[in-house]
Amino acid sequence: MSVIKISTAQISPIFLNKQETLKKACKAILEAGKNGAKLIVFPEAFISGYPDWVWLIPNSKGAELNKLYIKLVENAVSIPDDSTTQLCKAAKAANINVVMGINEKNSETSSASLYNSLLFINDEGEIIGKHRKLIPTGAERLIWAQGKGDTLKSYLTSAGIIGGLICWENLMPLARNAIYQNGAQIMVAPTWDKSPNWLLSMQHIAREGGVFIMSTCMSLKMEDIPEEYEFKKLYPKGREWINTGNSCIISPNGKIIAGPLEMEEGIIYADIDFDEIIAAKRMFDVVGHYSRPDVFDFKIRRWSVK
């Protein structure tokens, strides 16, 4: 079929609580499947929360940062583990493909460093791949390690060919080109950025790649942060929202076809027609007739990941 329904989940995690966040994720997966979606995408670092304290606490506060980092690692995901088993079971039960944003342990070595990762699960409940964010932004570098070129891939699924980049690595032209060259039809973009400039970039990327873009941002309120976390006091007084979301789905011509959803939790849906990709690429195909391989040489340096 050339037309399918896809969905993006703008929901809040149960902050730094992996098991409760997993329950919420599985519930959303089942709901989207029941509503006929063939794909659901979750926000950046959904399991088990975006470490927003890195923008608030100076690195000189080592004791406080250590406590938070330990908690983040304790509630992070290894691939595979019981967390991924639960997600896979939900995906199979709902007959839906899932892209999940996670804090991922480096379980191939020490299990003490973290990556900002995307986990790809098909509608058979199988893990088909992962992507580790190439370069964390600014203060995020105090939390997440750098990913490698191995995970710049796209995956053939029942919902089309899906690829993805995380937050500001979407602004890296060569990283985008790597995903385009893998034939992506749907490009997922889990993010923490809710700004108007971000949405403008997403519209440009949809046109550039001739792809459907799923910009998925976490909605998070002050009340979602438990009182036990002292960094909560560092936000301005009277603040209600830490992140308002603005998740949306964009067509290959750059038009927003679902969302933006602002200042609320919810799952947004869009019916997409893959023929729109072909129509968009008639005039501009960035990795096809517009690529000029006689002028430009593009390659990815790949290293093996255990």
Question: With contact defined as beta carbons under 8 Å apart, do 137 and 191 qualify?
Answer: no
HSE-CB for 72 with a 13 A CA cutoff: 27
From the candidates 24, 26, 38, 44, which is the catalytic residue?
Answer: 44
From the candidates 167, 208, 217, 276, which is the catalytic residue?
Answer: 167
Is 38 catalytic? The answer is no
Residue 207 one-letter amino acid: R
Element housing 85 (H / E):
helix 82-94
From the candidates 130, 133, 232, 281, which is the catalytic residue?
Answer: 133
**Rounded-to-integer distance, Cα 151 and Cα 166, Å:** 12
Alpha helices (runs of H) in 230-284, residue ranges in sequence order: 275-283
Q: Give SS3 for 169.
A: helix
> Residue 201: what are its φ and ψ, rounded to 5°?
-60, -40
Q: Which two tokens stand for residue 258?
A: 């679902």
Sign of CA dihedral 144, 150, 153, 157: negative
Q: Quick check: bond before 80 cis, omega within 30?
A: yes
Is 167 catalytic? The answer is yes
Q: Which two tokens stand for residue 113?
A: 């460093």
- DSSP-derived letter for residue 144 is B
Q: Which two tokens stand for residue 8?
A: 């993006």
Residue 70 one-letter amino acid: I
Residues labelled as active-site residues:
44, 133, 167
